[in-house]
């Protein structure tokens, strides 16, 4: 429970966290201390050494505190509260993405799924930051170990026929054998490829002795596939080290953090994160805040963490990390295991919660710390300052990556600033929507909407349209797309829980004519306040509603380059959908309309007779003699073409 105080002298000399608020009762800073009274009193000085503290105290209005049993418990609670409330003057890890997990479903014959939601039942590996890589990995594992994919085991499916599943639904594999396969999947996520190969070789020798050569061949192929995976990985150490290398690149009030994960002597992953609130902060404080917020019950703590300098609260954080690692290893013994880069978690784990009444009664996970004597040597975590050798090389590699990412992000922000200046926008165009149409003489007309967030494609907001407007009529088609996009805003109840996001800028692929259509549609739905422009491809001129003359932005300007990316992406998306519909249309045949004639019979009829005209002239006997046809289907074809 948090307690409000009027003076720092009223605070106890006990460990805990303090919560500083402004006059609007908004949390602006959260801190921890082993002595609340001593720490908070240090803020009430005439002069402050830190510029950040000076600014913080200008906005300070009231104070609350929560007492904890130990300084380590205060550290955990501080990290949880910072993640939740994101106070302005704290260093904050901006980890807003819902990263995917790989789930082994809790079933008799488990499936392997990708999910972003943790629920009861099953075992989870993750979180992973590279979605594309996770999909490839799961696809590889499913084909390698022939893991079932069907939800309902209701008979042999196509996968079993093409040898991608052992068909447990048809007793094609025993529970014991299938369990061994899932154990290999577990080893794969642990990065223990050598052990998988060793186990597979033993199995191959056993089945070869029994003269089960087909099984032996399958196991041989699995061994070769695992070896290929091992060859692609970058080997760093001869021994099986378990390390995270953490470096960062600072840019005013933000820092890009990069984590290189080394498991079993190989670099197996690189992740990057954004820390905000880093202005006027020392490197050791930024590293400390990141480690404190990055590691937790849902992320594996390695044996060693390599950094460029000693961090703040080093001993306290080491104790906390060792606790996490010890809990994780205990979970391993209880069949709740971890993967190499992140964590395999059991959502049923019970945790001790501390509640704070004045902060909306939210609960935060506080694990009971272990006595130092209870933590075995392998659970003790080291934070090592790299001074030479391979660790220093890897740290420099991580720092270089962080610097490149920081420059890329700055460039993206600069492009939005340039657009704001040239287009005289009221705010930074963080959300830009691009629209285009694609058709050939009005046939199979399609439209596209693409969305960019902070200068990057936001593909979950992409939309494609199959247009009904008769053509060729580019203006009419553009009108249809925009009406279908913005009509929901006119009927939207502002008091409802559903939130409709307006773009900061709309870009139409075209000149003044297409732009005028867009302006009319926005006016129709009362959305004239949304900025809209047209980008003509020939001279890369930008048209705005307020002027008959285009704006010419220099070709090397980052703002124009961003508009070109949005325009080109909208064009690509519209054209790709048009091509898809066109190829689908080419596959259509009049035979598709005949009852009893499916894809195979259609192909066989065309192979036999060559074209539709010859099929029309064929007799019932000739039709029934075609491979796959019978008397009934032959009569259907004959009657269709002779109107009987």
Please report the domains of the chain, with CATH numbers, ordered by start residue. Answer: 3-89 (3.40.1440.10), 101-234 (no CATH), 242-402 (no CATH), 424-585 (3.30.420.340), 590-641 (1.10.150.20)
pLDDT at 215 over 50: yes
pLDDT on residue 523: 93
Q: What is the pLDDT of residue 375?
A: 58
* Model confidence pLDDT, tens digit, residues 125-155: 766 766 777 788 888 888 888 888 888 877 7
Q: Could you tell me which residues come within 8 angstroms of residue 637 by beta carbon, excluding any fewer than 6 positions away?
A: 591, 594, 597, 605, 615, 618, 623
On the question of pLDDT at 425 being above 80, the answer is yes
Q: Identify the CA nearest to 458 among candidates 495, 420, 421, 501.
A: 501
pLDDT-derived band at 370, boundaries 50, 70, 90: low
| pLDDT recorded at residue 226 | 73
Tell me the mean pLDDT in the region 87-94: 86
Q: Is pLDDT above 80 for 616?
A: yes
Q: Closest Cα partner for 243 from 27, 62, 393?
A: 393
Q: Which residues contact 242 (CB under 8 A, 6 or more apart)?
A: 262, 263, 264, 302, 303, 304, 340
Closest CA to 260 of 128, 399, 94, 354: 399
Give the integer Cα–Cα distance in Å for 454 and 408: 12
Beta bridge partners of 534: 508, 543
Check residue 97 and give its pLDDT.
Answer: 56
* Residue 563 clears pLDDT 80, i.e. is over it: yes
Percent of the chain with pLDDT over 70: 85
pLDDT score at 172: 85
Q: How sure is the predictor about 359, in pLDDT bands with cuts at 50, 70 and 90?
A: very low
Q: Please report which helix (H) or strand (E) contains residue 39, including its range.
A: helix 36-41
Mean pLDDT in the chain?
81
- Predicted confidence (pLDDT) per residue in 341-352, tens digit: 444 444 333 332
Q: Which of 189-198, 557-566, 621-630 has the lowest mean pLDDT?
A: 189-198
The mean pLDDT of 400-417, rounded to a whole number, is 88
pLDDT at residue 337 above 70?
Answer: no
Least confident of 53-62, 326-335, 412-421, 558-567: 326-335
Residue 281 reports pLDDT greater than 60: yes
DSSP state of 11: S
Strands of 149-253 (E only): list them: 234-235, 242-251
pLDDT at 114: 87
Q: Does pLDDT of 234 surpass 70?
A: no
* pLDDT of residue 607 exceeding 90: no
Q: CA-CA-CA-CA torsion for 400, 403, 409, 412, nearest 10 degrees? A: -90
pTM flag (> 0.85): no
The SS3 of residue 93 is: strand
List the one residue out of 542, 265, 540 whose CA is nearest residue 531. Answer: 542
**Strand-strand pairing, 242-251 and 304-307:** parallel
Residue 420 to residue 562: CA distance in whole angstroms:
12
CA distance 358 to 199: 56
Cis-peptide into 316, omega within 30 deg: no
Between 230-244, 419-433, 626-640, the lowest mean confidence (pLDDT) is in 230-244
**Residue 337 and residue 93 in contact, taking contact as beta carbons nearer than 8 Å:** no
For the stretch 458-483, what's the b/e string if a residue is b when 16 or more beta carbons lie within 10 angstroms of its beta carbon?
eeeebebbebebebebbebbbbbbbe
pLDDT at residue 362 in the model: 40
Answer yes or no: is pLDDT of 91 > 60: yes
DSSP conformational letter for 458: -
- Is the CB of residue 554 less than 8 Å from the CB of residue 563? no
């Amino acid at each position: 429970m948090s307690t409000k105080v009027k003076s720092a002298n009223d605070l106890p000399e006990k460990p805990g966290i303090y919560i500083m608020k402004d006059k609007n009762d908004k949390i602006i800073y959260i801190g921890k201390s082993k002595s609340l009274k001593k720490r908070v009193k240090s803020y009430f000085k005439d002069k402050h050494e830190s510029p950040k503290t000076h600014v913080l105290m200008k906005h300070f209005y009231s104070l609350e505190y929560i007492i904890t049993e130990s300084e380590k418990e205060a550290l955990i609670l501080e990290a949880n509260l910072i993640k939740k409330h994101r106070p302005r003057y704290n260093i904050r890890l901006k980890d807003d993405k819902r990263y995917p997990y790989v789930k082994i479903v809790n079933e008799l014959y488990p499936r392997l799924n990708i999910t972003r939601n943790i629920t009861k039942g099953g075992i989870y590996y993750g979180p992973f930051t590279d979605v594309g890589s996770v999909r490839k990995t799961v696809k590889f594992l499913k084909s390698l170990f022939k893991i079932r994919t069907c939800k309902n085991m209701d008979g042999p499916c196509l996968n079993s026929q093409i040898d991608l599943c052992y068909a447990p639904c048809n007793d094609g594999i025993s529970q014991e054998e299938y369990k061994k396969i899932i154990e290999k999947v577990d080893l794969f996520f642990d990065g223990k490829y050598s052990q998988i190969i060793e186990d597979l070789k033993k199995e191959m020798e056993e089945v070869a002795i029994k003269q089960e050569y087909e099984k032996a061949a399958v196991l041989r192929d699995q061994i070769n596939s695992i070896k290929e995976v091992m060859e692609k990985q970058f080997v760093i150490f001869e021994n099986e080290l378990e390390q995270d290398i953490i470096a960062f690149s600072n840019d005013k009030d933000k820092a890009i953090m990069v984590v290189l994960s080394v498991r079993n002597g190989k670099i197996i992953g690189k992740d990057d994160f954004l820390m905000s609130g880093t202005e006027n902060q020392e490197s050791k404080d930024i590293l400390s805040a990141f480690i404190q917020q990055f590691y937790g019950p849902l992320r594996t703590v390695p044996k060693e963490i390599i950094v460029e300098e000693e961090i703040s609260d080093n001993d306290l954080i080491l104790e906390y990390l060792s606790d996490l690692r010890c809990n994780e290893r205990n979970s391993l013994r209880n069949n709740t295991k971890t993967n190499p880069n992140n964590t395999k978690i059991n959502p049923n784990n019970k945790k001790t919660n501390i509640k704070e009444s004045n902060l909306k009664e939210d609960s935060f996970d506080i694990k009971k710390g272990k006595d130092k004597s209870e933590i075995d040597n392998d659970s003790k975590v080291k934070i090592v300052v790299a001074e030479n050798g391979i660790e220093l090389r890897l740290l420099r590699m991580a720092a270089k990556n962080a610097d490149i990412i920081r420059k890329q992000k700055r460039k993206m922000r600069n492009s939005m600033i340039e657009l704001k200046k040239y287009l005289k926008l009221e705010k930074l165009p963080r959300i830009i929507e691009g629209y285009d149409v694609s058709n050939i003489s009005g046939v199979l007309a399609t439209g596209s909407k693409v969305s960019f967030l902070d200068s990057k494609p936001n593909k979950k907001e992409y939309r494609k349209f199959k247009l009904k407007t008769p053509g060729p009529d580019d203006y009419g088609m553009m009108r249809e797309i925009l009406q279908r996009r913005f009509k929901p805003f006119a009927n939207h109840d502002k008091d409802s829980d559903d939130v409709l996001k307006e773009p900061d800028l709309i870009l139409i692929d075209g000149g003044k004519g297409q732009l005028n259509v867009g302006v009319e549609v926005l006016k129709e739905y009362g959305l004239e306040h949304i900025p809209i422009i047209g980008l003509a491809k020939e001279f890369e001129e930008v048209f705005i509603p307020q002027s008959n003359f285009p704006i010419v932005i220099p070709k090397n300007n980052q703002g124009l380059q961003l508009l070109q990316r949005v325009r080109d992406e909208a064009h690509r998306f519209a054209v790709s959908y048009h091509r898809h519909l066109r190829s689908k249309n080419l596959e259509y045949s009049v035979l598709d309309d005949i009852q009893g004639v499916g894809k195979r019979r259609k192909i066989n009829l065309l192979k036999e007779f060559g074209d539709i005209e010859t099929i029309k002239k064929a007799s019932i006997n000739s039709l029934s003699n075609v491979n796959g046809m019978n008397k009934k289907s032959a009569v259907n074809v004959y009657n269709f073409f002779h109107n009987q």
